Chains A and B, each alone.
Chain A
Amino acid sequence: MSEKVLMKGNEAIAEAAIKAGCRYYFGYPITPQTEVAAYMSKRMPKIGGTFLQAESEIAAINMVIGVSSTGKRVMTSSSSPGVSLKSEGISYLAGCDLPALVVNVQRGGPGLGGIQPSQSDYFQATKGGSHGDYHNIVLAPSSVSEMAMLTAKGFNLADKYRMVCMILADGTMGQMMEPVAIDDIVIEEVEKPWALTGTNCARPRNIVNSLYLKPEQLEQKNFERFEKYKKVEENEVMYESYMMDDAEICIVSFGITSRVSKNAIVTARAKGIKVGMIRPITLWPFPKKPILDAADKVKAFITVEMNMGQMIQDVELAERCKKPVYLCNRTGGMIPSPEEVLASIEKVNGGEN
């Protein structure tokens, strides 16, 4: 195991991407993710990689399409408004079945919003976010070391399924510093016979394209793509179960709010309230089954989110409205405090909701 270093979440993403074999980064600065680009600008030239600050987010995502077409590992990163700009390109990546890693270090919105952390791009990330029938794989880290680990995992998943994998973090995750040892990164090599590598006149040419002139063909392509998505849903769900064995209240929370929730759970437990948490690590595919299973054991769910209530809809769908689901939230760049989460737990425990 290598020695620990003190890293920001954004830097951990960048270093893990390099260790995962990514040598192409295209981006455009935006707070609070700029350290990803800053780190890449220092490191890439030293290892023969490419760092390019594009003229815009739209240009950057189209450069990602270009490099991905050649079969190389490539990434871009941004924060909420910048990801909206990239969304057209993300749909094209999906339509071309191209792998790529896209990082969203979320800030408050809508519009220009603000630079403080938020989780209000949950809908955008998990429901597609751009046009057409498609999904991205969405990973939600809750520590600096998970920022690194999931970045590396994200490249492997993207290659394996020829999909966009998105790291959905937030400003706090990007800016916070924690000791981390970035090792144990496994590059799962995948054959890419579809890549545009030059035929050398030895094989038929490959075409990377998302345009289908005949609707029958496009329908067929979408059917095939959703067969693939089904496999992702069957095989790639990740979540953490925390103190759920005897829990009567189940918190569902991801990213930074799951850490706040853990503090609140410890305090609530000390007061004798049986509360636990399911922390989705994959937001798509969403951990439906553990939540449905929990619905038979707990009396209520609480989602803790930094938005006006987005993931709560997926929780309600997953548990099929068997038990009530309450929302504990802040928005606009505010982070719920452990005391606020505790108050919510106590309220639900007392049946006052």
Chain B
Amino acid sequence: MDKLKRVTLFAGHYGSGKTNVAVNYALKLKKEGYDVAIADLDIVNPYFRTKDSQKELEGNGIKLISSLYAGSNVDLPALPAEIYSLVDIHDRYAIFDIGGDDRGATALGRYADAIKEEDDYELLLVVNKFRPLSRTPELLLEIMHEIETTANMKFTGIVNDSNLGTETTAKDVLDSVPFAEKVSEMAGIPVRFTTVTQNIYDEVKDRIRDLMVIHLQDKIV
């Protein structure tokens, strides 16, 4: 990849794994020495949130900006004003976790002008071919265009996050590569990286370019 853009935004279909990718990406950048903060812009999903990884993020010195109400009993699509500090002040790297589908991208719309004006960003489309409503490149493109229209921004790259949760096999990941490439070709934007968990990394590392090792957020059951 070229020089790292100051702002990286993860958007895509509901349940494609944006939050998990965003959290892992923030940890990776931090490890590589970047001063990075992450903002939770999800106004759609009330349950699984960036905030679930609060301890891990803050323990690694990554600032998390999240709704006061995330993970609480209040179902309020409110965003903290502090998010503007990542948009308007350009002194550190910023990662944005956007809510699912066009509904989730509504929240991005209000920051879009400032982000485009700075013009130092990547808007990445997170894709998972194993999600039922994005099984084909055509369906994914439909979702992509809906998000672009709502967010008033264009995607610049693709993250192949195709997975079946903890049951994902090396074959599943390998099978997903042509799918991601097809989406890339149709959308006219490159695949930036493919995600893989540590347990299957060795099996696929020689066969897929630009891999990013991720771990899954903890669940109790």
Contact = CB atoms under 8 A, between A and B. Distances in A.
Interface residues of A, number: 34
A21 interface: no
Nearest to A113: B73
Interface string A28-43: 0001100100110011
Interface string A1-26: 00011111001000100000000000
Interface string B35-54: 00000000001111000000
B176 to A, nearest CB: 12
Interface in B163-178: 163-165, 167
A170 B193 CA distance: 36
Nearest to A336: B220
Interface string B67-99: 000001111000000000000000000000000
A5 B130 CA distance: 5
B110 to A, nearest CB: 22
B131 interface: yes
Interface residues of B, number: 23
A141 interface: no
A223 B117 CA distance: 73
A338 B164 CA distance: 25
Contacts of A5: 130-132, 135, 164
Nearest to A14: B132
Contacts of A335: 220-221
A349 B201 CA distance: 44
Interface stretch (A130-138, A175-183, A188-196, A284-292): A175-183
B15 interface: yes
B133 interface: yes
A177 B165 contact: yes
A42 B46 contact: no
Binding site secondary structure of chain B: loop
A108 B221 contact: no
A327 B57 CA distance: 37
B221 A260 contact: yes
A333 B73 contact: yes
A171 interface: yes
Nearest to A144: B165
A178 B15 CA distance: 11
Interface in B115-139: 128, 130-133, 135
B105 to A, nearest CB: 14
A108 B75 CA distance: 13
A42 B221 contact: no
A177 B47 CA distance: 12
Contacts of A15: 132
Nearest to B16: A6
A6 B75 contact: no
Given A6-B131, A31-B46, 9 more contacts: A6-B128, A35-B14, A115-B73, A175-B47, A179-B130, A179-B164, A179-B167, A256-B221, A335-B220
6 contacts: A6-B163, A31-B46, A114-B73, A114-B74, A115-B74, A177-B15
